[in-house]
Amino acid sequence: MPPEPWQLYALTAGLLFSISLAGVFLCRHFFRKIIAVNLMGASVFLLLVSIGRRDHEAFADPVPHAMVITGLVVAVSASAFALALARRIHRETGRDNFSESE
Amino acid sequence: MNPALSDSLSALPILLPLAGALTCILLPPRHRAAAGLLTSALTLLSASALTWMLLTTGISSQNLGGWPPPLGIQLRFDGLACVFLLLTSLVGLPVGLHAAALFRSQPGDDRASSPPLFWPLWLFLWAALNGIFISHDLFNLYVLLEIMGLAAVSLAILSGRPAALLAGLRYFLAALVGSMLYLLGVALVYGAAGSLDLGLLGEALPAGAISVRVAFALIITGLLIKTAVFPLHFWLPEAHSAAPAPVSAILSALVIKASFYVFLRLWVDVFDGSVTFAAGQAVGALGAVAVVWGSYQALRQSRLKRMVAHSTVGQVGYMFLLFPLITLDPAAAAAAHGPPTWLGHAWTGGIYQALSHGFAKAAMFLAVGIFILAVGNDEKRSVTNMVGRLPMTTFAFALAGISLIGLPPSGGFVAKWMLLKATFSSQQWWWAPMIVWGSFLTAGYVFMILRLAFAPAAEAPKKNLRPVPRILEFTALALGVGAILIGLRASEVMLLLDVGAPFAEPVQPLTEPPGGADD
C-alpha cells in the first residue's frame, strides 16, 4: 500500500526535526544554532498541518492550523530575541560561539 | 457564591499581573516600582480570594469566552494549582519589595544598577506562571511556557554583563529546544486523540499506541530540560548566578517550579495510562543522581552565588523522587488490597519539596545577595564574622539552610520525611540512601558558610561593610521564616492540597516523633 500524502509529509517532518535537533548541538556558531531551533519549529508546524489533512474531508481540521499560526508568532518573537542577544554578545565580546576559550 | 462572580475571579491572577506589566511599560521608570508593588499586592489578594473560594465551594473551572472544550480553553482551579499560585504570590511579594529597595539604594542611574525593565518583565513572568498553574490545555501551556522563557531570560540578562549575556543565550537555547520537544509531543498527542484539553485527554488518549509513547517521551524530555534535571542542568548554574540577586531568587524559587508543575500534572492526569514502572524508575534515578551531584558541586564552589545555584540542581532532584513512588509495578498494584497508603505520602512529599524549596531558595539567594552587596565580592571567605555584622541576614540564611537540609520543623523536613516514609512503605528502599546522602552534603555547604559567619572577628579582613537598607534584610528573613512556617502549619497546607488530589493524604497533624528516621 503506497503511503498517503499526509503520511509522507509527517515522515518528512520527523526527519527534519531529527536533523535540526542534531544541528542545535553540533553547530558551534550562534546563528546556526538559532536557525536550527527555527527549523525544529518549522518541522513541527509541517507535522501539524499534515495531521490536519488526514481525514479526507472537504475541509482541513482548523485546530492544528490555529496552533501553527500561534506557534509562528511565538517562533518569530523567540528568534528575534535570540538574534538580538547573539548580536549584543558579538558586539560586546566579539564572540560568536560558546566554546571559545575566555 | 454567585457563579458569574466566581468565573470572572478565576482569570484575575493572570489578568492582574498582565495589566500591571503593560501599565509599568507606560509609566516613567521612577514610578514603576510603586505600580509593580501595588500589582503584586492585588495579585496576592486575588490568589487568597481564590483559595477561600476553593475551600468553600471546591474545584472551579471556567471556559474562556464561553467555549467549552474540546474547542475552547478551560481554566481549572484545584488544590494543586492553588498551592502553587499561593507560593508564587507569597514569594513574589517579598522578592519584589527587596528588588525595589535594592534598585533604589544603588548609586547612579545606569542600567546595570537599576534596570528600568525589571518590573514589566517580572510581571509578565508572573502572569505566565499563574497562567501555567490554572490553564487546563496542552497547547495553551506551550504558549505560556514560551512567554515564561522569554521573560525569564530577559530578567537573567538584566545586568548586561558579558557573562550574563552568554549564560542567558545558553539558557534561552536550552529552553527553546525543550519547548520544541514539548510542541512535537503536543502535535502527536493531538494526532492520536484529537483534543488538547487535559481532562478530555486523560480519558481519550489510547494507552498503548506507539505515537502516544513517543509523544510522552518527547514531552517529558522537553520538560526535564526546562526544569534542569541532571544531566540536562548544564544551563542553570551560570544563568542563575549571573543574574541580580532578586532575579536569581525568582528563577530558582519559581520558574523551574512551573515546568515541574506541568510535568507532574501531565504525568498523573494525561499520561496515567502510558507511564510505566520503568519510566518512573528512570525519572527517579535522574532525580537521585541530581540530588547527590548538585549538592556535591555546591559543596565544591568557592563563590557564594554559584554555590546556591548548584544547590538548586540538587534540590530539584528531590522533587523528581516523587515519580517512581507514585508509579507502581502493575503486578504489585494488582496484588495489593486497595490503593497503597504511601501514594499520598509521596505526593505530599514531592509537592512539599517544591513549596519549601521555593521559600528557602528565595531566602538564601536574597541573603547571599545582601552579603555580596555589603562586602563587595562573591568569595565564600568574605562572610567571615557575618553573624556580628549582619545578624538578621545570617539568621535568614540559616533558616533557609535548615529547610534545604531537611531539619525539623521546616518545610524541607516535612518533604524529606514524607518521601522517606514512602520509600520504605513502598519497599523502594534504594531511594532512601540518596535522600540521606543529599542531606549530608547539603548540611556540608550550609554549615561551611555558617562556620565562617560565626568565626571570630580577629580572622575577619579589616574592611568596612557597605550599608545595607533594612528592608533588604527584612524581606530575606520573611522568606526564611516562611520556609519554617510551612513546616509548622503543614496540616493547613495539606488540607488545600487534598482538594481534587489524585492521591489523598488523610489530613492530620504531623504526629510522628521527629527523631530517628530524620537525616
- The 3-state DSSP class for residue B76 equals strand
- What is the predicted pLDDT for the residue at B505? 60
* Residue whose entry in the numeric block shows the C-alpha cell 503584586: B40
Q: Identify the segments of chain B with pLDDT beneath 70.
A: 1-7, 107-113, 331-339, 457-463, 504-519
Chain A residues whose CB is inside 8 A of the B175 CB are none
Name the B residues in 193-232 with CB < 8 Å from any A CB.
Answer: 196
Indicate which CATH number applies to the domain containing A57.
Answer: 1.10.287.3510
| Number of domains into which chain A is organized | 1
- What is the predicted pLDDT for the residue at B511? 43
> Cβ–Cβ contacts within 10 Å for residue A38, how many?
18
Phi, psi of B212 (to 5 degrees): -70, -40
How does pLDDT run across B374-392, given as a tens digit for each residue?
Answer: 988 888 888 888 888 899 9
- What is the predicted pLDDT for the residue at B1? 46
Whether B143 sits inside 8 A of A21 (CB atoms) is: no
Chain A residues whose CB is inside 8 A of the B184 CB are 17, 40, 43-44, 47
Confidence of residue A100 (pLDDT cuts 50, 70, 90): low
* Residue whose entry in the numeric block shows the C-alpha cell 547612579: B108
- What is the predicted pLDDT for the residue at A3? 79
- What is the predicted pLDDT for the residue at B3? 53
- What is the predicted pLDDT for the residue at B272? 83
What torsion do the CA atoms of A61, A65, A67, A70 make, to the nearest 10 degrees? -150
Whether A44 sits inside 8 A of B172 (CB atoms) is: no
Residue of A nearest to B196 (CA): A63
For residue A45, tell me if it sits in a domain: yes
DSSP B65: G
For residue A98, tell me if it sits in a domain: no
- What is the predicted pLDDT for the residue at B504? 65
Amino acid at B195: S
For residue A66, tell me if it sits in a domain: yes
What is the distance in angstroms between the Cα of B204 and the nearest Cα belonging to chain A?
Answer: 17
- What is the predicted pLDDT for the residue at B108? 59
- What is the predicted pLDDT for the residue at B508? 46
List the domain range (segments joined by +) for residue A52.
Answer: 5-93
How does pLDDT run across A27-72, given as a tens digit for each residue?
Answer: 999 999 999 999 999 999 999 999 888 776 777 888 999 999 999 9
- What is the predicted pLDDT for the residue at B518? 39
- The 3-state DSSP class for residue B60 equals strand
How does pLDDT run across A7-29, given as a tens digit for each residue?
Answer: 899 899 999 999 999 999 999 99
Residue of B nearest to A36 (CA): B177
What is the distance in angstroms between the Cα of B166 and the nearest Cα belonging to chain A?
Answer: 7
What is the distance in angstroms between the Cα of B40 and the nearest Cα belonging to chain A?
Answer: 26
- The 3-state DSSP class for residue B98 equals helix
The ipTM (two decimal places) reads 0.95
Instruction: Tell which phi-psi region holds residue B330, choosing left (phi > 0), alpha (psi between -120 and 50) or beta.
Output: alpha
Q: Is B164 exposed, middle or buried (0-12, 13-18, 19+ CB in 10 A)?
A: buried
> Cβ–Cβ contacts within 10 Å for residue B207, how many?
11
